[in-house]
Amino acid sequence: MTISIKARIAVTTALVGSVAAGAAAADTMKIGITQNNVGVDSYQTTYEKAFIAAAQANPDIEAVVLDAGGDVARQIAQVEDLIQQQVDAIIIWPTNGEAVVPAVRKAHSAGIPVIVTNSNIAEQGFEFAASFSGPDNITQGARAAEIMCEKFTEMGIETEAQIVQISGQPGYTTAIERAKGFEDRLPEVCPDVTLVETQPGDWNREKSQKVMEAFLVKYDDIDGVYAGDDNMGVGALNAAKAAGRDGIIFVGATNFSVGYEAMERGEYWGSIYQSPVDDAEAALKTALDVLSGAEVPFLNYFDTPKITQENMDQFDKPVF
Amino acid sequence: MAEMTKRDVGQFLARQGILVAFVIFIIGFTLANQRFLAVDNVLGVIRSSAILGVMALGVTFVVISGNLDLSVGSMMSFSTIVVLDLHDKIGPSLAIPAMFAMTMCLGALIGFLVGYLKLNSLIVTLGMLSAIHGLTLTYSGGKNMDIADKEGTWFSLFGQGSALGIPVPILMFALLAALLSLLLAKTAFGRKVYAVGGNGVAATFSGIRRARVVFLTYVISSFCVACAGLLQASRSMGSQNTVGQGLELEVLAAVILGGASLLGGSGTVFKTVIGVLILGFIQNGLLLVGLEFYVQYVVTWVIIILAVWLDIAANRGRLWSPIA
């Protein structure tokens, strides 16, 4: 009963729409998004706000905004829901790059293009996704290596410096890529800098502080710390400050407001500027481009520039 | 004569099996890296364990009374976020008592549900784990909380200060451990906690107001959580919403490592402290040894199982159970 009423209303609306606005009604696109875990950090919170704002600013878009709460099973169910709702495109922020592949394939076989946002899905899912929109974590890691190397060269210690790395959550693609980008680029630009040890800080400031405390005990000479994001970088900075070890160069791979503030205080050297607003808008734009049939590269990166104490006045303080 | 000595050793082990295990780990890690026992490292480990430790002290009461508390991790995130937020709004001297009051209200609510309404503590606190997480996110809007002016406040005293060369978190942990140990071992209330956990029905017939005792154990637990939140907030002067996520299991592991029975009725504050230190030193030791980190999770598990096994083996005086 309910279903038929709904169906009739839909038909009527469609008719009215086509009569009143002609071709415009057909252009209204229903875009569904299932996000990873909104609220767990400010990046994801800001991303969601920016996404909703961008969708609302465009009258041709009807957005269905969902959040998987970090739960793979829930995200798969959400994709299935969106397929049922016959949305025009699905944007997914994978909770787990491997586990969501079957859901992406299902959407693909239902004829719905899937745009992966922020963190990519596993490679075996690439053929089912229309495009990936997000930051290039390998480039971020590589640029962080360049920042570190440029600073060491300026200080004249590029032939002897020893550094440690605090990486993100083990098994998380972003963590692996930011580490790989850094580890591959560093020997190219500064072949004599040694990365003595890498341990995970799990994206967690407190955990990174503990890890850094152990590093400080273990190594008498640490010239630089590379962290997968500024939250962890600032955790490491806190440990160094508490231990009274000055002169360490801290570089992160994503600039957070805590990192930005530490840069203002001159305690933290640099990072990579990644805006969740750019991220969200790029995802929506990619979806629109895919739907309009435009040529979209499969890996559709948005730019994430270097930020250091020297050029930070060109950037607004991150909101997260 | 020889048998007497053997029995003496056995009895010592039976009482202090976990302590023996602890000493074995310390020796092992020291052999692997001499820096392990350096004063700054030891103080560093105890200081970072203090936060987990303070929470474990409170949970010890809950576990001895025969219940569980899985909400302490999210509750700690809650207190940390609240105190950081209020610090900039009403100043530290008001923010701290306000945060304690709010956190202990949560503890009182859990205590009411488990104690007076007799709801299963696993279900109540598992539910509270998510509910309080949601509350924290609602409160903060998902944003990281940071104290704006980190230099111009005395708030950093609790997490970063030190007196007589000993970091304040360690002093607080020690002081709380001493107080709660006295409360548990030397007062009528403490004996009631054991009685309620050992045999609730018998305790009721002996005239112990069981609901009230259970209620109070949760209030004590939330008080400890508030202290942990204060230490955490003051240590990093800023925090993510998920700072305490997962800590409930580490806390429980420390309490159980210390030999408290999940069925209630046994455990001591001192042994919980040892449990906390074992966990802290394992984490630190593995870092210093520089083991590949994927392996660390497995090794941590192996060490915990070894410790528990040593403790149980010491208790029954032999390695294998006589009953298959």
DSSP A196-220: EEEEE-TT-HHHHHHHHHHHHHH-S
pLDDT of residue B7: 66
Query: Which chain B residue is nearest to residue A215, measuring alpha carbons?
Result: B288
The whole-angstrom separation of Cα A113 and Cα A99 is 18
CB A93, CB A280: distance < 8 Å: no
Where chain A has pLDDT below 70, the residues are: 1-26
Contacts of B12 (CB under 8 A, 6+ apart): none
CB contact under 8 A, A218 and B290: yes
- Is A42 touching B (CB cutoff 8 A)? yes
Query: pLDDT value at position B277?
Result: 92
- For residue A316, tell me if it sits in a domain: no
DSSP β-bridge partners for residue A34? A66, A92
Residue of B nearest to A256 (CA): B144
Q: Is A71 on the interface with B (CB under 8 A)?
A: no
Contact A266, A309 (CB under 8 A): yes
Cβ of residue B288 closer than 8 Å to a chain A Cβ: yes
pLDDT of residue A10: 38
- CA dist A81 and B197 (Å) reads 47
Same structural domain, A95 and A189: no
Question: In terms of DSSP H, where are the helices of A157-256?
Answer: 173-189, 205-218, 230-242
- Note whether A39 contacts B137, CB cutoff 8 Å: yes
pLDDT at A1: 33
Residues A64 and A53 in one domain: yes
Average pLDDT over residues B53-72: 96
A156 and A29 assigned to the same domain: no
Is residue A75 included in any domain, yes or no?
yes
Kindly list the residues from chain A whose CB atom is less than 8 angstroms away from the CB atom of residue B294. Answer: 170
Option in A197, A234, A320 nearest B290 (CB): A197
Size of interface A-B (CB pairs under 8 A): 83
Q: Are residues A148 and A113 in the same domain?
A: no
User: How far is B97 from B205, CA to CA, in rounded Å?
Assistant: 38
**pLDDT at residue A14, rounded to an integer:** 35
> Do A175 and A130 lie in a common domain?
no
Whole-number percent of chain B with pLDDT over 70:
94
Output the pLDDT for position B3: 55
Q: Are strands A162-167 and A224-227 parallel, antiparallel or unpaired?
A: parallel
Q: Verify that A75 and A187 share a domain, yes or no.
A: no
Q: Please state, in angstroms and rounded to a whole number, the distance separating the CA atoms of residues B113 and B214.
A: 10
Partner-chain residue, chosen from B44, B137, B293, that has the shortest CB–CB distance to A217: B44
Interface of A with B in 180-209 (CB under 8 A): 197, 199-200, 204-206, 209
Return the higher-pLDDT residue of A263 and B321.
A263
Are residue A16 and residue A110 in the same domain, yes or no? yes
Average pLDDT for B302-318: 76
Domain count of the fold of chain A: 2
Closest CA in chain B for residue A44: B142
Q: Which of B143, B160, B232 to mutate to test the interface with A (most CBs of A within 10 A)?
A: B143
Q: pLDDT value at position A19?
A: 33
pTM of the entire predicted model: 0.76
Q: Is 80 exceeded by the pLDDT of residue B11?
A: no
Residue A288's domain spans which residues?
Answer: 2-134+277-302
What integer pLDDT is reported at residue B38 of this predicted model? 85
Contacts of B160 in chain A (CB under 8 A): 242
| Cα A7 from chain centroid (whole Å) | 39
Decide if pLDDT at B12 tops 70: no
- B-facing residues of A in 98-127 (CB < 8 A) are none
Is A318 domain-assigned? Answer: no
Chain B contact probe: residue of A48, A199, A217, A231 with most B CBs at under 10 A: A217
CA distance A41 to chain B (A): 6
What are the helix (H) ranges across chain B? 2-32, 39-64, 72-90, 92-111, 121-140, 157-160, 168-186, 188-198, 200-205, 210-236, 247-257, 269-289, 293-316
Same-domain check for residues A209 and A287: no
Is A136 strand, coil or helix?
A: coil
Query: Is A216 in the same domain as A282?
Result: no
A310 — contact with chain B (CB < 8 Å)? no
A51 and A66: one domain? yes
- Measured between alpha carbons, how far is residue B37 from residues A75, A212, B212, B270 in Å? 47, 17, 44, 21
Structure tokens belonging to residue A83: 């397929």
Determine, yes or no, domain membership for A309. Answer: no
Query: Does any CB of chain B come closer than 8 Å to the CB of residue A160?
Result: no
3 state SS of B17:
helix
The answer, yes or no, to whether residue B119 has pLDDT greater than 70, is yes
- pLDDT-based confidence at B264, cuts 50/70/90? confident
Distance from CA of A234 to the nearest CA of B (A): 9
B79 shares contact with chain A (CB less than 8 Å): no
Q: Does A276 touch chain B (CB under 8 A)?
A: no
Nearest Cβ partner of B287 from A209, A211, A256?
A: A211
Residue A319 lies in a domain: no
- Structure ipTM: 0.73
Q: What is the CATH number of the domain that holds A196?
A: 3.40.50.2300
Co-location of A241 and A118 in the same domain: no
Q: How confident is the model at residue B300, as a pLDDT?
A: 78
In this structure, of B7-21, B72-86, B112-126, the range with the lowest mean pLDDT score is B7-21
> Domain for residue A314, yes or no?
no
For residues A125 and A158, state if they share a domain: no
Q: What's the average model confidence in pLDDT over B232-255?
A: 89
Give dist(CA B216, CA B56) in Å, integer.
Answer: 16
pLDDT of the residue at B13 = 59
Cβ B243–A38 below 8 Å, yes or no?
A: no
